[in-house]
Structure 1
Amino acid sequence: MTRSDSAPASCPVTDTAAAASGMSRTQTPTGDPAWLATGYHLVRELFTEPNLGRSHPHPETASRMGESAFFGGPVGNFASERADHLRMKSLLQPHFSVRRMREFQPRVEAITARLLDEMQAQGSPADLHTALAVPLPLLVICELLGVPYEDRDSFREWVSAVGNVSDRAKVEWGVAELFEYCRKSVERKRRDPGDDVTSRLCADPELSDQEIATFAMMLLFAGHETSVVHIGVGALMLLGEPALWRRLHENPAQLATATEELLRACEPTDLPRYARTDLELDGVRVAAGDLVLLGLTSANHDPTVFTEPSRVNFDRQEGSHFTFGYGVRYCIGAPLARIELQAAFGQLVSRFPQMRLAVEKETLLMRDEVFTGGLRTLPVCW
């Protein structure tokens, strides 16, 4: 959060071996040419390469991943990208600091408990996706931004449209609707401020309504969409291996390390970067403007760094994953995401020790129309 610098998960890992480290030619889902960077050490190096960025001098001709607003193609102003990014982080990061999020943690725990109370009251079976994975991050980001949760159905629809990978008209509609909603929210906060991020941004005399609305739109999108995905995918990984579920139930002290391992073990989306100049990366010449994909799945499953990388191991001490990015591009929403995930996984295993999948794992459908991916449903019983 903004999680344009972190990676959404698509689905649990398979047993396929991680690709060898290096640069290789590839094609995006749109058929455009790109370079794919694989391997832990190369991906970490490229995260800190100053001549790779999200913007492009000629965005209309740049290679694309799809039509989605934040991951489909170039983002930002080429001439001022670095300064804009640093300014954005300096403005937003204090509102999502580790200290501030720890203070907010009891509220996240309480929201999680209420959602699980409602699910339990409705009885088994239930859809964990609609009962917990979707509403928890949505309630949390609404409260942080001072946005009425009653409007959730509208901006949930807009957020899905913004992330659509193939329908440009739908993406443009979603962006316009979400921005207009945030602009009106800023107007309300100007008149009647509260104790929320939007109101605190409104108190900054250097920020225009348009800037604040843009930040709010990005936070509404990134602040819940990727957590929805990670809660569902992480819960599926636990439910798919009952021994992991039991172990976490019996050893709640492992919750933090288990959450990190589940984040590592997911299959994040490759992160797009554009070469700002001609570069030599890992011995390969990359031309200015070329699209370079940071292969996060290969990095998080590099066998030279992680022993048995396809295995979820709560005792793992090796390395650190790149699911939240790295360096200056590290996701400012990581502290909040960790609190949400730990609340979800911790309360699920403690309250529902016998929970299991209500369908065969192979029958579960993934969302392939949006770049964030994730599950459509997660039927469970207990």
Structure 2
Amino acid sequence: MTANSTPRDTTGLLTDPYPTCAALREEGPVHRITGPDGNPAWLVTRYEDVRRALADPRLSLDKSNGLPGNYRGFSLPPALDANLLNMDPPDHTRVRRLVVKAFTAGRVEAMRAPVRRLADGLLDAMESVGRADLIADYAGPLPIAVICDLLGVPHSDRQDFLAWSDALITPDPNRPEQAKEAIGSMLRFYTGLIAAKREEPGDDLLSAVIAVRDDGEGGPGGTDRLSEDELTSLAFLLLFAGYENVVHLIGNSVSGLLDRPELLRALREKPDGIPAVIEEFARYDGSSPLSIRRFPLEDIEIGGVTVPAGETVLLSIASANRDPRHFEEPDHFNPHVVRSGHLAFGHGIHYCLGAPLARMEVEVALEALLSRFPGVRLDVSKEELRWRPSIRARGLISLPIAW
């Protein structure tokens, strides 16, 4: 069958996403909507359809397979656009293989102590004041420091990167040129960083990837050799994604805990319950409401609806993770129930490369915060909290706390 071809009004996805998702999900599995850029897209809402589509090779991430006039997402220069979020196999397989070893469970666990030292240092700076903005003072700087240490980014550049990332995540409607300026600044930054690493390699992931790019496995022209654009784009994606997803999950988790004082007290007494709480927050109020857009390589049926080749498909992770067809009482937050199969980190070959690192960072962030400030509380009314106006990122603009 076909869905209504008139795009639906989905402003509720910005202002109050979960009731809007529930209404769309119950009305039908697939909806024609207007994307953030004003162009049409197809929104998939139910768990089984979303999970199946995430692993469907007929749904391409390569924007060259999309029709003109459909939603495409970020507009980036080629040197930043040749990243894993725009690739299908075999290029996706080739590039991902170069960095996957940096995110194995063993390597991530070895980073736990250094991440805790970073968290403690940020809390040291906050402690004497008695109040703070958790996002600006803790949830934001921590993942930036972690991923910058992993890639070997100098300390002097990290504050600039925060500003550029925020300009891309939540563009100022009164300054439409801001996002374009941020992209230009990022491109210059990555180009300069890669040149510096070539001149003076370090013991970091970016230096290792540069060596692979310049030498290639098996010598020049080896099968794992990267183009220069792929190298720059990979650095961009690791820094940007490593920041955006973690800062929002820390903020959303702390906000949710402050709204549940009994759970907060239980975690202070038994912090070994934190991993299960993080997993449930990832499902219940995760940082990525939508997967990266996809383009059918042929006319494809999703949930009984025919979507034409080349049109944009958006998979609603937020809706799927609260689908009562798969999860019992999905709108009830309950970390004591194992809800297997949530899609907060994706599914299939595009499953989030940094998921183990993200989980560890959020776990350390919560452990350190609750240990240092057992009396942490919200410093404004809940109604005053402001969420970023974005359908692709779910996160707080600020989270004022006191202790």
Secondary structure of 2:310's match? coil
Per the alignment, residue 205 of structure 2 pairs with 197
Q: What letter is aligned with 1:162? A: L
Q: Deviations over 1:174-231 (max 9, x none)?
A: 2222122112111111121111111111221134544322211121111112211111
Q: What letter is aligned with 1:45? A: R
Per the alignment, residue 134 of structure 2 pairs with 128
Secondary structure of 1:81's match? coil
Q: What letter is aligned with 2:34? A: Q
- TM-score, normalising length from structure 2? 0.84
Trace 1:51-70 onto structure 2 (pairs within 5 A). Answer: 51-57=58-64, 61-64=68-71, 67=74, 69=76
Structure 1 residue 344 corresponds to structure 2 residue 365: yes
Per the alignment, residue 6 of structure 2 pairs with none
Separation in structure 1 between the aligned mates of residue 83 and residue 168 of structure 2, nearest angstrom:
16
Trace 1:290-305 onto structure 2 (pairs within 5 A). Answer: 290-305=311-326
Q: Is the 8 A contact 1:112 1:344 kept in 2?
A: yes
Structure 1 residue 154 corresponds to structure 2 residue 160: yes
Separation in structure 2 between the aligned mates of residue 226 and residue 77 of structure 1, nearest angstrom:
16
Structure 1 residue 142 corresponds to structure 2 residue 148: yes
Separation in structure 1 between the aligned mates of residue 75 and residue 289 of structure 2, nearest angstrom:
13
Secondary structure of 1:61's match? coil
Deviation at 1:163, TM superposition (A): 3.4
Alignment partner for residue 233 of structure 2, among 211, 214, 218? 214
Per the alignment, residue 297 of structure 2 pairs with 276
Greater mean alpha carbon deviation, residues 238-247 or residues 333-342: 238-247
Secondary structure of 1:57's match? helix
Separation in structure 2 between the aligned mates of residue 168 and residue 265 of structure 1, nearest angstrom:
32
Q: What letter is aligned with 1:95? A: A
Q: Is the 8 A contact 2:63 2:86 kept in 1?
A: no
**Alpha-carbon spacing, 1:30–1:208, altered in 2? closer, same or farther (3 Å):** closer
Q: What letter is aligned with 2:210? A: C
Per the alignment, residue 231 of structure 1 pairs with 250
Greater mean alpha carbon deviation, residues 262-271 or residues 55-64: 55-64
Per the alignment, residue 186 of structure 1 pairs with 194
Trace 1:90-129 onto structure 2 (pairs within 5 A). Answer: 90-120=97-127, 122-129=128-135
Separation in structure 1 between the aligned mates of residue 32 and residue 341 of structure 2, nearest angstrom:
27
**Alpha-carbon spacing, 1:25–1:12, altered in 2? closer, same or farther (3 Å):** closer
Per the alignment, residue 279 of structure 2 pairs with 260
Q: Is the 8 A contact 2:18 2:318 kept in 1?
A: no
Separation in structure 1 between the aligned mates of residue 368 and residue 84 of structure 2, nearest angstrom:
43
Higher relative contact order (CA 8 A, sep 6+): 1
Superposed CA RMSD in Å reads: 2.8
Greater mean alpha carbon deviation, residues 330-339 or residues 265-274: 265-274
Q: Percent identity?
A: 35
Separation in structure 1 between the aligned mates of residue 152 and residue 316 of structure 2, nearest angstrom:
36
- For structure 1, list consecutive stretches of 5 or more residues without a partner in the other structure: 1-8
Structure 1 residue 378 corresponds to structure 2 residue 399: yes
Q: Is the 8 A contact 1:10 1:229 kept in 2?
A: no
Trace 1:34-45 onto structure 2 (pairs within 5 A). Answer: 34-45=41-52
Q: Is the 8 A contact 1:259 1:341 kept in 2?
A: yes
- TM-score, normalising length from structure 1? 0.88
Alignment partner for residue 24 of structure 1, among 31, 41, 57? 31
Deviation at 1:36, TM superposition (A): 1.5
Q: Is the 8 A contact 1:68 1:162 kept in 2?
A: no
Separation in structure 2 between the aligned mates of residue 309 and residue 78 of structure 1, nearest angstrom:
29
Q: Deviations over 1:36-67 (max 9, x none)?
A: 11121111111111111222336571411655
Q: What letter is aligned with 1:223? A: G
Structure 1 residue 287 corresponds to structure 2 residue 294: no
Secondary structure of 2:36's match? coil
Secondary structure of 1:280's match? strand
Q: Is the 8 A contact 2:83 2:230 kept in 1?
A: no
**Alpha-carbon spacing, 1:35–1:60, altered in 2? closer, same or farther (3 Å):** closer
Per the alignment, residue 338 of structure 2 pairs with 317
Separation in structure 2 between the aligned mates of residue 112 and residue 66 of structure 1, nearest angstrom:
33
Separation in structure 2 between the aligned mates of residue 342 and residue 76 of structure 1, nearest angstrom:
28
**Alpha-carbon spacing, 1:332–1:370, altered in 2? closer, same or farther (3 Å):** same
Q: Is the 8 A contact 1:129 1:376 kept in 2?
A: yes
Q: Deviations over 1:83-123 (max 9, x none)?
A: 22112211111122222111111111111111112211x23
Per the alignment, residue 7 of structure 2 pairs with none
Alignment partner for residue 246 of structure 1, among 236, 257, 265? 265
Equivalenced residues, count? 370
Secondary structure of 2:63's match? coil
Deviation at 1:362, TM superposition (A): 0.9
Deviation at 1:169, TM superposition (A): 4.1
Separation in structure 2 between the aligned mates of residue 298 and residue 151 of structure 1, nearest angstrom:
37
Deviation at 1:17, TM superposition (A): 7.4
Q: Is the 8 A contact 1:68 1:371 kept in 2?
A: no
Per the alignment, residue 9 of structure 2 pairs with none
